[in-house]
Structure 1
Amino acid sequence: MDKLTTHLNTNFYTLYREWHYKDIEPRIFVEEMLLETNADGEAKVPSDYKIHCFGKTQYIQVDTDRFVEHTRSIFDENWNVMPIKYLYQLPNIIPNKPEHLNIMLEIARMLIMSPYLRVDLYNIQGRIVVGELTFIPEGGTGRFTPSEWDKKLGDLWN
């Protein structure tokens, strides 16, 4: 309850200057716990597919093992690994291309409502679930390595 009360009393506009939070009354949402079953039959948190949409151009960020040893990979639309590190370490094993990637990319395209939008999706045994829509990932302070990717991606933003 203390954590929830703290979040309800935090003004994220003032804290991070993310303008779209300015006039939103804080609320608590309780969501379904999304789990997938691995080959051993144990339940685990699924990979998080974060699709960065710059108009029609999309990059797919895959976050794995978020609550254990968080790693992050970035791919182009054809599932080619991009030479980018974004805040977290690259995984030792590159994630496999998800089933129905083309449907996931199409869902992201249908949800675009601004020049830039990150669409977060889960693909749990073929069931695609929308996680969230983000206009300013990492509050706009996340850094790419190598740093020239800040400009390369920024140039896609009209």
Structure 2
Amino acid sequence: MMEMLGGRGGPVLVAALSAIVVAVAGGWLTTIDPWYRSLRVPSWKPPDWAFGPVWTTILTLAAVAGVLAWNAAPEGAARAWLVAAFAVNGALNIAWSGLFFRLRRPDWALVEVTALWLSIALLMLAVGRHSGIGAVLLVPYLVWVAIAALLNWSILRLNGPF
């Protein structure tokens, strides 16, 4: 598919569009409403305004990591695995916002964020097979989702059951 989108520039376009889709879908599902505002949160929770810039940075780094790995990977199965790993990760990223904010199920979101974190670890392995720099670019994503998981767990503990 990427070859159809302009040769070497195609991966950049696909990665950028994919990052935008994940960001927009996740943002659309994230509702800072009275339910969310009523939740008790730990004192260490980052301010709400920080999430947008952090996610923008993380998704940009992930897109760059994907392009680096794609360009270094041989055609065929290696590239197909990269696309599949990024697609699963993107779906899990979006799903967390839907579970937590739209369905108001921090308990389900806590289970899902574990799968998201594992998908990032697998993504790092898949990318790292082709680009060490690309794998390193995914470290902030792994750390941020670990923080998000701890925050999710804390919210569940402070407010549950759901």
Q: TM-score, normalised by structure 1?
A: 0.30
Higher relative contact order (CA 8 A, sep 6+): 2
Higher strand fraction (1 or 2): 1
